[in-house]
């Protein structure tokens, strides 16, 4: 007799759980202010990803083509799979001391796991995540990017 009541109690619990789930689904279905689905690729021009979105790693430059990277290569050391290479050079500074400048900051997007260790550990906040997310290419060499722009230099207050 006890098993008989447990059987019907389980059926009641299952139907109750189904109705609760269907009420949540119905609320999102019938309330137009709660739309979270993006109509991609139709809205490609107006699509804005969230601030926490991890696209590709970028090196922001200001309007004078200055960046914050000092070439310390901490991002390269912390990258677990070697998707960042920092090629730097030492030149004579204005006061006679050797100054490190970056020649190329290479980012291999095809190898990146988007773990954000490079962005988190950069002492100068020179790296960030961009909003670009379409990376389907036929040639993998296109996924290797130079992050520092041609002719760019380090900010004066950092150097």
Query: Structurally, how many domains does the chain consist of?
Result: 2
Give the tens place of pLDDT for each residue, 10-47: 999 999 999 999 998 888 777 766 666 778 888 888 88
Residues 54, 121: Cα–Cα separation, whole Å: 16
CB 70 within 8 A of CB 83: no
Find residue 86's DSSP bridge partners: 105
Give the tens place of pLDDT for each residue, 73-128: 999 999 999 999 999 988 887 788 888 889 999 999 999 999 999 999 999 999 99
For residue 50, being part of any structural domain is answered with: no
Question: Domain containing 100 — which CATH number?
Answer: 3.30.70.3270
For residue 24, being part of any structural domain is answered with: yes
CB 116 within 8 A of CB 127: no
- Domain around 11: 2-34
Q: Quick one: pLDDT at residue 159?
A: 64
Residues 112, 85: Cα–Cα separation, whole Å: 12
Helix (H, G, I), strand (E, B) or coil at 156: coil
Residues 95 and 27 in one domain: no
Residues 80 and 123 in one domain: yes
Instruction: Judge if pTM exceeds 0.75.
Output: no
Residues 125 and 67 in one domain: yes
Residues 141 and 86 in one domain: yes
Neighbours of 139 (CB within 10 A): 6
DSSP percent split of the chain into helix, strand, coil, nearest 5: 30, 20, 50
Give the tens place of pLDDT for each residue, 128-138: 999 888 888 99
């Amino acid at each position: 007799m006890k098993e008989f009541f447990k059987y019907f109690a389980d059926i009641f619990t299952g139907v109750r759980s189904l109705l609760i789930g269907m009420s949540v689904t119905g609320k999102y279905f019938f309330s137009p202010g709660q739309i979270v689905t993006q109509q991609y690729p139709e809205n490609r021009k107006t699509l804005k990803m969230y601030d926490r979105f991890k696209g590709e790693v970028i090196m922001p430059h200001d309007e004078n083509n200055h960046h914050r990277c000092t070439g310390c290569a901490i991002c390269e050391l912390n990258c677990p799979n070697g998707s960042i290479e920092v090629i730097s050079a030492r030149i004579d500074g204005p006061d006679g001391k050797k100054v490190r400048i970056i020649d190329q900051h290479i980012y291999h997007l095809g190898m990146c796991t988007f773990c954000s260790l490079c962005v988190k550990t950069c002492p100068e906040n020179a790296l960030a995540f961009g909003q670009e997310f379409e990376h389907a290419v036929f040639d993998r060499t296109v996924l290797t990017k130079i992050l520092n722009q041609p002719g760019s230099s380090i900010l004066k207050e950092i150097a």
